[in-house]
Amino acid sequence: MSNTRFHFQLANRILKDKGNRFSRPIVALSVCGVSLGLVIMMVAIGITSGYKREIRDKVIAMGSHIRIAHYDENYTYEQVPFNKSQPFVEQLRQNPDIASVQNFATKVGIVKTTDQVEGIVLKGMDATFNQSLFRKNIMEGDSLCLGDTVADNHIIISKHLSDKLLLHVGDKVQTYFVQDPPRARKFTVAAIYQTGLPEYDERFALVDLRHIQKLNDWPDSLVSGIEVLIRDYDRIAEMGEYVHHRLPLELKAETIYQIYPEIFEWIALFDTNVAVLLLITTCVCIVTMMCIFFIVILEQTQTIGILKSLGMKTRHVVHTFMIVAGRILLRGMLVGDAIALLFGLLQQRFHFVKLNPETYYTDFVPVHYDPWAVIGLNLGVFVICMAVLVIPAWVVGRKITPVNAVRFE
């Protein structure tokens, strides 16, 4: 029989020994402690990842990863237009790393009802608009028909505007535009959306791009900007540089990080909080494992003495008790993983933990587990805890001699 197999069998006997009346409940409590610690760590990284993903998707759904606009230091909602049919547009569409390229134009207007007046920014989109991303934010109604030969006379407004102006799907909306000469357009509410982001919900409504072009007396070739959606979000900085270097001098490309720095700087603070939480919880797991480790060794002192008197070397004793500790740790980690994954699945399915959307930009706690992050967390916790236990195991193993063990009560 190999040494390793013998060590595993011996560790199994130690854990299952019914005579260990003192250590058995302590082992059970240790498993619970490790499980609780891992649940906290798993849920922390799951919520952080899910929250960042949720906010990112909301920003992208209303725009894109990268926005191309006229080079103007002071951004306004009515920018200098440019021709959408330029050589760089075709280059971007042919790049396999770019999912889509869509045109847009914005115009400031005023919405008037019987007794209410509200400022609004109309965002005009054409058939290139990726409505599949935005459709998740629609609470009621349907999307715009942007591919028809005639401009769609519908408008998609936010729930904020709907509540403020008492508008519903199917209602008529009279919109005025301050220009020379002043103009007006009547739209029909096609849908009501909500992102939870005040930057969008308090300002933007979606219409057919051709309405903006007609109001500004632009030909069909002019737009306010172009939005670029990429396939790999992790390469957004790299792709932002790629797009920018292919533009003419009068145009610039900005990523969503540059357009909305306050949102992503706020989200980045979560990483620091999670790192501190992971550090504290890992320390708790280490302390828990060290306590049970010493208790098990203390209870098995006579067994260690007998094994040493039979010729077992210190390193083999250490090996055996490290296996005991490893099995306790793995048991607690598996239970913790199961609880955390079940919580994440139920939360994403039923949204039973709610949030205030006015404060957190979403009405529920989003949870997303990155498989590599889960694997890395489990491996990290296991390796750190086992590494910390090696030194005390070796010291205790050398201190216990057959003579001392036999005298121990």
Question: pLDDT value at position 189?
Answer: 93
Q: Which residue has the tokens 């007396």?
A: 217
Question: pLDDT value at position 322?
Answer: 78
Instruction: Please say whether the dihedral angle defined by the alpha carbons of residues 317, 319, 320 and 326, taken in this order, is positive or negative.
Output: positive
> In terms of Cα–Cα distance, which of 109, 85, 107 is closest to 226?
85
Helix pair 371-399, 314-350: axis angle to 10 deg: 150
Q: How far is CA 163 from CA 139, 197, 276, 309, in A?
A: 13, 16, 41, 83
Distance CA(182)–CA(345), nearest Å, equals 53
Ranges of each domain in the chain: 3-59+264-407, 72-248
State pLDDT tens for residues 257-278.
888 888 888 888 888 888 888 8
Is the model's pTM score more than 0.85? no
Q: Which residue has the tokens 């797009």?
A: 243
State pLDDT tens for residues 358-382.
778 888 889 999 999 999 999 998 8
My answer on whether omega of the bond before 181 falls inside 30° of 0, hence cis, is yes
